[in-house]
Amino acid sequence: MTNANTNSGKLDFLFHPAAHYASPDAVLNDDKLSAPEKRVILSSWASDMFAVESCPSLREIPGMDYPIRLADILAALRRLDGEGDDPPRGGGVPMRLRRPWAAALRRSA
């Protein structure tokens, strides 16, 4: 049987990553972390919970002396997924029916 207190030091970097990492790149460059562990840290940083109220494009992470740009965190997550640094392209044009009543007639026929 393991004692939860003895294992807490091993997981501390996941629950308090700001104490161990200074940037999203530092998380990505840590060879001791698995990809899912990196994703947990970066996703937690991207959370709206850490958004700066007056500037939602910044994240204020407890334990860090400076805010981190959300764009940098999202870019790191894309690199982790092998998608590169470029932001995803915008979505397609929404599909609109010119005559919504015509679609309703087709369904009933």
Give me the number of domains the chain comprises.
Answer: 1
Domain around 68 = 11-87
The residues, any chain, with a CB within 8 Å of residue 23's CB and separated by 6 or more, are: 68, 72
- Domain membership of residue 1 (yes or no) is no
Kindly state whether residue 102 falls inside one of the protein's structural domains: no
pTM: 0.63
Residue 30 resides in a domain: yes
pLDDT 10s digits, 18-77? 567 889 999 999 998 899 989 989 999 999 988 999 999 999 988 888 999 999 999 999
State the pLDDT at residue 2. Answer: 43
Cα(74)–Cα(64) distance, integer angstroms? 18
In a domain, 103, yes or no: no
Q: In residues, how long is the chain?
A: 109
Does residue 100 lie in a domain region?
no
What tokens were used for 56?
């939602």
Specify the amino acid at residue 52. Answer: V
Q: Which two tokens stand for residue 14?
A: 């996941």
> Is residue 105 domain-resident?
no
pLDDT of 73: 95
Q: Is 26 domain-assigned?
A: yes
